[in-house]
Chain A
Amino acid sequence: MVDGQYRPHPGIRALKAVVLTIACALVIAPFVAIVATSLADQQQIARAGGMVLWPETASVSAYTAILSGGVITRAAMVSVGVTVVGTSLSLFVSTLLAYALSRPYMAGRGVMLWLLLASLLFTPGMIPTYLTVKQLGLIDSWWALILPMAVSAFNVIVIRAFFQNVPGELIDSARIDGANEWMVFSKICIPLSKAVLAVVGLFYAVGYWNNFFNALLYLNDSSMWPLQLVLRTYVINGSALSSDELGSPTEMPPGDAIQMAILVISIVPILCVYPFLQKHFAKGVLTGAVKG
């Protein structure tokens, strides 16, 4: 690093190591316990009185129980559907908007940019937004989970910053070859911005997957609920799932294992994409922060 001539005092180095190890352990340990408990059997959970740190005999009965077509399966499918449809729509709409706003000659660009930036400052309140969703006839529709959060001004600004950095010569030469805006957008700008699109896509996907509030507000019909709301009912509020609601498996796995399995199911998609995208985070976040 910057001042290589200093070797920190061994005591200080040890202290740093301890602090960082504790910080990492505090993040990782709960995950280990959750996964372990979801796989553990009845006796071990009972002996431990709740959570276990390592399953003695691994069994996936909790997972087969919740994924055999009951309440949780349906909620997971709703979440997957909303996330996939929402993320595709968001990425498409935001990228197009960002491209238009990145063209310095577009008439009306100033007004649109101002509207976009001002929306970051004036966040609409909960009640007026609820009324808007209602006026648009979206109550008790899955679109209510998607459309209100489909365009994030922050993400549009991040993508726009990338498009602005696409070398002008590249675009000019495409133009001379007769490319129109759509071709420049799809053949030049998109392929050059894959990294940022991946990160913004992740931000959108995480937003949809994790959203709890829109579902709470706009879906009265509990059979339409996504995973996060179901999670609240059965994990935080601790309501027990009956075998009926689970899709009647032959035997009921322990309640703790079921709760933990629901948690795992809601975390796994994030854990799957995370390793592939996290190297791009800093770039994506910083472009937005600096150019905003």
Chain B
Amino acid sequence: MGLPTMARAGKRNPARSPHRTRRPSSGTSPRRRLARRERIAVAVRRDWMLWLFALPGMTLILLFQYMPLANNVIAFQDYLPFLGIAGSPWVAFDNFSVITSGDPAFVNALTNTLLITLVQTVFVFPAPIAMALLLNSLVSERIKRSIQSVLYLPHFLSWVIVVSVFQQVLGGSGMINNFLRSRGFDALDIIGNPDAFLALITSQVIWKDTGWATILFLAVLAGIPSELYEASSLDGAGRMRQMWHVTLPGLRAIIILLLILRLGDALTVGFEQIILLQPAVGRDVSEVLDTYVYNYGVLGGNWGVSAAVGLVKGVVGVVLVLGANKLAHIFGEEGVYRRG
């Protein structure tokens, strides 16, 4: 791929194009070595336009991904908006005491988060795998594609729309309850019922994203060599045995990868979805760490404390992903990235 540069940089600098000098062998040969200043000059002449291309994107990433990381210092401050970061007093680890001392509101948010994560891993995670296996077993390519097109759609709707739709169908004056009332039954309170909350959010997530999540599994299934199926059927394997010995092993790597990524998000459960449903059910069952940070920090003005909670949550997430990836490597799986 280096040819284009050679054509250009080479003309002006017949000695050597700079990307060549970066190769390991180049350092040993005096003829290929360029003075540092000369190298920079060549890079500037060759790459200035590319740097200009990258500038706006990198600026936005530094501003909105990395500047907030620096702003995490307010987790160690008694941050007061009118004093700013420079003027607010430092309080060391005081803000973290809600976590260490087991503040009831925080414990409630943490418990709910973990419960929701657990339930969703059990019910939401396998749904697309099952759906992909089902779709994959269809013979007609056309029917398969049409069904996929339909099932992808809800992924593109906002949470506001999904919650609205569910409310119109399941709410107090929704379709189901109208039907029940018209047949003389009692109406069911599903939207505002704390006991149904977990089931409600889980079914919403399944409705919204199961179809979309099948894309990945279907692609992996399509990549399993058909010789494996032929060989296994020659060995007398029926469909169930093929599923067990060929299909599922083929899916193993991607399942492990997604579980690892999921672990990193274990403390993150749908903020938009839950904040929209919260007024109807109350915070007892619906407060999760993200809504806690929003309610307590942004609405309540407790900046330092909720920044501390957010910081711990982020660090735990990174540690979980890296740890799980390490574990996957130990068990001989590829994980998210290869062992570096």
Interface residues of A (CB under 8 A from B): 1-6, 8, 16, 19-20, 23-24, 26-28, 30, 33-34, 37, 48-51, 93-94, 96-97, 99-101, 103-108, 112, 115-116, 119, 121-132, 135-136, 147-151, 153, 156, 168, 171-172, 174-176, 180-182, 184-185, 206, 209-213, 216-217, 228-229, 231-232, 235-237, 259-260, 263, 266-267, 270, 274-275, 278, 281-282, 285-286, 289
B65 touches A96 (CB 8 A): no
Are the CB atoms of A34 and B165 closer together than 8 Å? yes
- Is the pair A267, B161 in contact by a Cβ cutoff of 8 Å? yes
Contact of B60 among A147, A176, A235 (CB under 8 A): A147
Complex CA–CA separation, A124 to B71 (angstroms): 9
CB interface residues, B 1-60, toward A, < 8 Å: 1-5, 7-8, 17-19, 43, 46-47, 49-51, 53-54, 56-58, 60
Q: Chain B residues with Cβ under 8 A from A175's Cβ?
A: 3-4, 7-8
Contact A23 B5 (CB under 8 A): no
Quote the shortest CB–CB distance from A202 to chain B (angstroms): 8
The reply to whether A180 and B310 contact each other, CB–CB distance below 8 Å, is: no
Query: Cα distance A229–B307 when bound, in Å?
Result: 25
User: Are A124 and B168 interface neighbours, CB within 8 A?
Assistant: no
- Complex: A254 Cα to B178 Cα, angstroms: 17
Taking a contact as CB atoms closer than 8 A, the residue among A16, A30, A135 that contacts B137 in the complex is A16
Q: How far, in whole Å, are A2 and B50 apart by their CA atoms in the complex?
A: 47
Q: Known contacts A119-B65, A150-B60; is A127 also within 8 Å of B174 by CB?
A: no
Looking at the assembled complex, report how far the CB atom of A182 sits from the nearest CB atom of chain B, in whole angstroms: 6
Assess whether B136 is in contact with A281, with CB atoms less than 8 Å apart: no
Contact across chains for A127 and B138 when beta carbons are under 8 A apart? no
**Which residues, 189 to 231 on B, are CB-close (under 8 Å) to A?**
207, 211, 215-216, 218-219, 224, 226, 229-230
Q: A33-B175, A106-B47, A236-B164 are in contact. List 4 more A-B contacts (CB 8 A).
A: A34-B165, A124-B65, A150-B60, A168-B1
A228 and B290 contact, CB distance less than 8 A: no
Cβ contact within 8 Å between B298 and A274: no
Q: Select which of A27, A132, A267, A278 is within 8 A of B207 by beta carbon.
A: A27
A48 to B53, CA, bound (A): 58
Please state if A105 and B5 are interface contacts (CB–CB under 8 Å).
yes
Q: Which residues of A have CB within 8 Å of B62?
A: 115
Interface hub of B47, B53, B239 (most chain A Cβ within 10 A): B53
Number of residues in B with C-beta < 8 Å to the partner? 102
Interface residue? B329 (CB, 8 A) = no
What mask results when residues 134 to 158 of chain B are scored 1 for a CB within 8 Å of chain A, else 0?
1111110000000101111110111
B108 in the interface, Cβ–Cβ < 8 Å?
A: no
Is B61 touching A115 in the complex (CB atoms < 8 A)? Answer: yes
Kindly state the separation between the CA atoms of A267 and B160 in the bound complex, as whole angstroms: 11
* Option from A27, A48, A93, A210 in Cβ contact (under 8 Å) with B57: A93
Which residues of B lie under 8 Å from residue A267 when comparing CB positions?
157, 161
Cβ B49 vs Cβ A182 within 8 A:
yes
Give, as a whole number of angstroms, the nearest-CB distance from A269 to chain B: 10
Contact of B298 among A20, A37, A126 (CB under 8 A): A126
Contact A51 B276 (CB under 8 A): no
Contact A132 B68 (CB under 8 A): yes
| Known contacts A3-B233, A93-B60, A151-B60; A27 and B154 CB within 8 A of each other | yes
The closest CB in chain A to the CB of B40 belongs to A107
Tell me, yes or no, whether B96 is within 8 Å of chain A by CB.
Answer: no
Distance (Å) between the CB of A64 and the closest chain B CB?
21
B279, CB-defined interface residue at 8 Å: yes
Whether A285 touches B1, Cβ cut-off 8 Å, given contacts A93-B56, A237-B279, A263-B161, is: no
**B321 CB → nearest A CB, Å:** 7
Out of B46, B165, B294, B317, name the residue touching A126 (CB < 8 Å): B294
The residues of A that contact B50 with a CB separation of less than 8 Å are 99-100, 103, 106, 181
Q: Which residues of the other chain, A, contact B169 by a CB distance below 8 angstroms?
A: 30, 33, 51
- Report the bound CA distance from A65 to B253 in whole Å: 54
Once A123-B314, A128-B72, A232-B276 are accepted as A-B contacts, the answer to whether A96 and B57 lie under 8 Å apart by CB is yes
Q: Are A228 and B229 in contact (CB under 8 A)?
A: no
Interface string of B250-273 (1 = CB under 8 A from A): 000000000000001000000110
| With A33-B175, A119-B66: A274-B153 Cβ-Cβ less than 8 Å | yes
